[in-house]
Every structure is written in C-alpha cells, then in structure tokens.
Structure 1
Amino acid sequence: MSQFTVQPSFWKIFPDVKIAVITVHHLDNHQKEQVPPEMLAEANASVADLIPNEPISANPLIHEWRQAFKKFKTKKGARFAVENLLKRAKKGNPVRSIDPLVDIYNVESLRTGFPIGALDLQKIQGGISLEVAKGGEPFTAIGEDEPDPALPGEVIYRDEEGVTSRCWAWRDAKRVETTEDSTDILMYSECLKPEWRQDHERAMTELTGNIEKYLGATTKTQYVTKEQPTVMYE
C-alpha cells in the first residue's frame, strides 16, 4: 500500500479543493482502435459551449483557475493543464489522438474542463504528496532533457525521488510518464470550487466508466479533502 497525502501547506492556500484519486489496473493501452475516434472529435467540438466567451479569460472556468495560480509561485506562463487544450480546440486546432488512455482523459477534460493527471504507478517511488515546494526539488519535464527544479513557494506533486508534477496542474515529469506499455496508473483530478463538486464527481464516474469499458481495466476512485487529507492506494 502507498499513501497519497495533501500537506497542510497546500490547505493553507486552497482549503476548499477536493481531489479525486483514481487507481487503474490491468490496463491495455496499445490499440488506438479501442476508443471510438468520434469521442475525441465530439469532445473537441464541445469546447465552444464550455468556454463560449472571448477573450478566453472571460470564461468563469478559466478565470477561476488563473486566479488560483496567482496564489503561489509559478514559472512564467504556467497555466492549469487544461487551458491549453481548450484554447487549441476553441481556435480550430483540435486535440489529436495520442494513445487510448490519454485520449479518454483528454476527452473528459475537453468536455468538462477538469484537469486530469496520470502517472505510471510502477514508476512512482513511495507515495505521492501535494505540497508547497521548499525549492530545488528535482524535476525534468516530459519531452525535455534538462532538469528544471521546483521554485520556492511553488505547488507541486512529489514522490520520494522528486517532483512528479510542476506548478500544480501544469506539467508532469518524464520519469513517471505513462506509455502504451503502462498497465497500472495513478490518476488525480482537482476540483477547485465547492460548487463544481457535483459536476466533478459525475465527470470522474464517466472517466472511469470509459477506462473500464474501452481499455479492459479495473478502477478505484477515492477523494481527498482538507478533512480527509490522506488516502491509501495500491
């Protein structure tokens, strides 16, 4: 068993956040044909309804997340992970297929706006902690070769070896990246506002249902709050 813990340093900034922690086992992530291509196409098309206003910052979803990112230290230009996906789709540059798992959680993010992180569970060292960085915690981003350590005051996910996700819901580490050969996954999704919780839970049910239906996996969903800051997973 491993532990997913949100530290007091995070709750001091974001006491109302609720986080879904999802474990996925026995994943088959090889054949793109497993996931109907129309799912991604329809999700891209739905973005215009999710964020109809111009500029993009005029949409409540984007505004709330940008305000949240002003509450801690970030790298220049860092946004919550879904903003770039939504912006691309809204401008007519649809999000493309990557692999079955990524396609399924991108579909959910495009439909609902909720960020969804996914790490290869077998590559995680020890448990996961969401906390405010002291600074210097090691990190190398997916697609990069040069290390880029955390800044003091930055919100990070980390394991015993270093940072697994920078700037909260922004970029994941190369070291724990999921691939088509990944069979066991740790996923997490943050609900920023209490009034979004019902939609968030509905989105997580849809997400796990699609993973089980199309990828032959088993899933388990737990939730972390300030009142219950730790869950165990395996």
Structure 2
Amino acid sequence: MKKFIVDKSVFESIENLSIFILVVKNVKNKYDEKNKYRKLINESIINARKYITNEVFSENKIIKKWRNILSCIKTKKGSRSSIESLLKRVKNNNEINNINPLVDLYNSVSLLYGVPLGGEDLDKIKGDIYLTKAHGGEYFITLGCEKNEPPLVDEVIYKDKEGAICRSLNWREATRTMLSEETINAIFFLEETTDIENAKKAINQLNKLIKIYLSVEGEIYCVNKNNVIATIT
C-alpha cells in the first residue's frame, strides 16, 4: 500500500489544483496488434488540431493556460507542460511514435481532451509518492541523458524516497520509473486547475481504453486542497 501526498505549498502556488490518479494492476503491457494503437493515436492527432487554431502557437488557450500555471512555480528554464509538447508535435506535423500500449493510450487521451497526462511503473516507485517542492539535489536522470540532473531548490516535483520522478510538475520524467513493456502495475497522473469535468472525463476515458485494449480496469482517485492524501490500494 502506498500513499500519494501533495504538500500544501503546492496548492498555495497553484490555485485550484486537482490531481486525478488512475492505478491499474496486473496489466500485460505488450502489443497484440500495434496498428490499432497507431490508429487511435492518429485519430487523437486529428482531434487535437482544434486546440491549436491560432497561428501564433503561444496564443492558443491550452498553451497560455499551462504556461501561466508553470509561471506560478519554480521550474527549470524552458520547461513546458507535457500537453504543450504533444501539441507542438501536432502543429509541426511531427510523428507521435508508438512506445508501448499504456503510453500510447495516455498520449491519445491527452490529445483528445487537451490535458497533461503521465504514467509511471508503480513497482519501480520506492515508498510513498509526493508532489512537493524540491529540497534540491534529488536524484534524477531523464531519457537521453546519462548524468544526474537534480531539480532546483523549490522546483515542483513528483518524488519518492529515491529521488525525483517528474520535474517541473509534468515536464520531464525519470527513466527509472518509466512505463515499459515489463510494467505490470502502473499509476497515471492528470493535473487540472479549471475544467474539472473535462479532467474527470479524460481520466475515465483512459480507464475505459485500458479496459478495452488491455482487459484491466483501474481505480481512480482525486487529490485537491481539501483532500491532500490518496491511499493507493
């Protein structure tokens, strides 16, 4: 049993923040038919174009929203939300590659609902999970980098007892907890500040797709300033 705990300082910095959590267990995260995941991603890309109708990328509603949110917290210079990174690829007609079933599914939902979504291997997380402000120096190695790049002091991070899991809220994740084909138990995080109903639809849609594609139904939790701890069973 793990707990997900959000430090009150995060809620003080990000007004009206809610974090939706989905936990799925005993999943077989391997492709049976890769083409159906490719089709789902492609359909989500087509849908996502409605979020970037303004020629000036930074003026689109979702982009402005998440840049404003990140401006309220300490981040590494140049950090952007995960949904901005996906929408930038859509705008530039860059491929959103298949990675593994769970990642493909959460990327599809992220594009469909215009929300940041991330997932981690629950078995690789050591102890409880915290969304908090960094002490600075927490161990962190990300994809494509071999050296430790610890977060800044007071940078908002997801962390466990071994180090940072994701930096600058939802910007970049650590390789040690990433979802892989060997993942059996997974946890997903979705952050929202304004459109809570849309976030609920998104996390429920992810749960639904995992059930359809991978035959596993998960458990959904929500943490906010009135309920700062979720006990994950």
Question: In structure 1, what is the equivalent of residue 15 of structure 2?
Answer: 15
Cα distance in 2 for partners of 1:140, 1:146 equals 6
What residue number does 1:112 align with?
113
| Secondary structure of 1:12's aligned partner | helix
Corresponding residue for residue 78 of structure 2:
77
Give the Cα separation in 2 of the matches to 1:79 and 1:139. Answer: 18
Pairing of 1:205-216 with structure 2 (within 5 A): 205-216=204-215
Amino acid at match of 1:214: Y
Equivalent pair of 1:120/1:185 in contact (CA under 8 Å): yes
Normalization by structure 2: what TM-score? Answer: 0.95
Distance in 2 between the 1:80 and 1:2 partners? 26
Output the CA distance in 1 between the equivalents of 2:209 and 2:61. Answer: 27
Amino acid across the alignment from 1:199: N
After TM superposition, list the pairs within 5 Å mapping 1:80-229 onto structure 2: 80-193=81-194, 196-229=195-228
Question: Counterparts of 2:114 and 2:148 in 1: how far apart (Å)?
Answer: 29
The answer to whether the Cα contact below 8 Å between 1:15 and 1:226 also exists between their aligned partners in 2 is no
Q: If the length of structure 1 is used for normalisation, what is the TM-score?
A: 0.95
Alpha-carbon offset, residue 153 of structure 1? 1.8
Contact preservation (8 Å) 2:37, 2:101: no
Give the number of equivalent residue pairs: 232
Between the aligned partners of 1:70 and 1:32, the Cα distance in structure 2 is 42
RMSD: 1.3
Are residues 1:5 and 2:5 paired? yes
Contact kept in structure 1, 2:25 and 2:218, CA below 8 Å: yes
Q: Distance in 2 between the 1:169 and 1:231 partners?
A: 19
Q: Are the counterparts in 1 of residues 51 and 61 from structure 2 also a CA contact under 8 Å? A: no
Instruction: Provide the rounded CA distance (Å) in 1 between the counterparts of 2:134 and 2:38.
Output: 39
Q: Which runs of 5+ in 1 are unaligned?
A: none
Contact 1:144–1:174, Cα closer than 8 Å, also in 2? no
2:52 pairs with 1:51: yes
Q: CA separation of 1:137/1:43 partners in 2, compared to 1, >3 Å: closer, same or farther?
A: same
Q: Which runs of 4+ in 1 moved over 3 A?
A: none
